[in-house]
Amino acid sequence: MPRKKLVAGNWKMNTTLPEAKALAEAVAKGVGTGPAADVVVCPPFPWLVPVSEVLKGSAVGLGAQDVHNEAKGAFTGEVSTGMLKEAGCKYVVIGHSERRHILGESDVTVHLKVHSAVEAGLTVILCVGETLVERERNLTERVFQRQVYSALAGLTDDQWHRVVIAYEPVWAIGTGKTATPEQAQQAHLFIRTKIRALHGENIAGSLPILYGGSVTPETAAGLFSQPDVDGGLVGGASLKADQFLAIVKAAG
């Protein structure tokens, strides 16, 4: 069965409450009822509940940008999987490069978060990707193996079906430098081939692998036409409804 494409918007630490509600409303209206691709928006934590109310009855899913691995307790400032589910989330982004590289999140932390999220029934959008230095030193494939294996080790077959991987080269995020469709395809194929070797075709063949890194309406169609690129994780362009909707259209 062909994989359905997925386009997710990562709003990061942007939008006021009125902006968030207006953006969600415009995306829901633009996507309509039977989109060819799955569509998700990931607002900042405080806007999850109001945005979920705006999205009620629409075809747009709600995701969070992060989660803590513990269910509750003395973890000041953190948010649990149960809280995200009560807020209406079906998805959660884990291991975004801004968390790994700016906030020091380790592979071990990413592993714990991924396991808590899939156990709670959330779908994880796991971000992996190399820095420019790692690419220049030909370490890209080693970085994938480390980040992908460490995050996903020990999942059951059922849990694998709640995983989406987002290949996001760090040098392309927020920089305006998009990977070429060929670079993205090569990276996605490498990841899928390794997962196929370890876990078989049932898991590897149905695993959505998104590309992220300065996706725009101009670059989306070329990227999404690649056989192993199953959609996109979109930052900057997800903050403008017309741009995001044009990217969604390119996935349809």
Interface contacts to ligand PEP, rule CB under 6 A:
10, 168, 173-174, 212-215, 233-237
User: Looking at this protein, which amino acid is placed at residue 216?
Assistant: T
Task: Provide, rounded to whole angstroms, the least separation between the CB of residue 45 and ligand PEP.
Answer: 16
Task: Provide, rounded to whole angstroms, the least separation between the CB of residue 74 and ligand PEP.
Answer: 30
> Which residue has its beta carbon closest to ligand PEP?
235
Q: Smaller CB distance to ligand PEP: residue 10 or 203?
A: 10
Task: Provide, rounded to whole angstroms, the least separation between the CB of residue 72 and ligand PEP.
Answer: 28
In degrees and rounded to multiples of 5, residue 148 shows phi and psi of: -70, -50
Instruction: Find residue 7's DSSP bridge partners.
Output: 39, 232
**168 is annotated as an active-site residue:** yes
Q: Smaller CB distance to ligand PEP: residue 119 or 134?
A: 134
SS3 assignment, position 67: coil
SS3 assignment, position 58: coil
CA dihedral (175, 165, 5, 187) positive or negative: positive
Active-site residue identified among 98, 105, 130, 168: 168
Task: Provide, rounded to whole angstroms, the least separation between the CB of residue 151 and ligand PEP.
Answer: 16
Q: Smaller CB distance to ligand PEP: residue 119 or 221?
A: 221
Active-site residue identified among 68, 96, 111, 188: 96
Written as six digits, the tokens of 47 are 């806007």
Q: Which long-range contacts (CB under 8 A, 24 or more apart) does 12-18 make?
A: 12/44, 12/65, 12/98, 12/235, 13/44, 14/44, 14/239, 15/43, 15/44, 15/47, 15/239, 17/46, 17/47, 17/50
32: region left, alpha or beta (phi > 0 left; psi from -120 to 50 alpha): left
Q: Smaller CB distance to ligand PEP: residue 143 or 203?
A: 143
**53 is annotated as an active-site residue:** no
Task: Provide, rounded to whole angstroms, the least separation between the CB of residue 12 and ligand PEP.
Answer: 6
Q: Smaller CB distance to ligand PEP: residue 168 or 230?
A: 168
Give catalytic residues, as residue numbers: 96, 168
